[in-house]
Amino acid sequence: MEVFRKIALFIFIATLVFSVASVALAQEDLSSEGVINIVQNFANWLIIIAEGIIVIFIAYYGIQIATAGGNVDRLTEAKKSLVWLVVGGLVVFGAYIIIGTISNIVYQKF
């Protein structure tokens, strides 16, 4: 049953991504600036979704820490998960900075 869920989720996400990409490609020109614009908009969309997920999981792990109730194993697991969530958030933020920097370099007129 778990494998079926994962396959269904993958198909749903793939369908969503391809539908968004097909709409974006239909509306944009395919010059170099147009392709960069498509990639930048798609990355911005993914970053916004990732930020929302990060906020939800910060609240979730905060609740886990608050309700650990002296159980050292639960507290340690929640803290470890929260640390990795922050690391993932920094990776997402770094990707946003890299995409913005590359976009500014490419769009700069010499």
Q: Tens digit of pLDDT for each residue in 29-72?
A: 666 667 777 777 778 888 888 888 888 989 988 899 899 888 89
Over 80: is that where the pLDDT of 110 sits? no
Tokens of 38: 């498509």
- Domain range list for the chain: 1-29, 31-107
CA 41/CA 34 separation, integer angstroms: 10
| Two tokens, residue 85 | 């969530």
CA within 13 Å, CB half, 58: 10
Q: What angle do CA 101, 82, 96 make, to 5 degrees?
A: 10
User: What's the confidence (pLDDT) of residue 7?
Assistant: 73
pLDDT band at 105 (very low <50, low <70, confident <90, very high): confident
- For residue 61, give both structure tokens: 């792990």
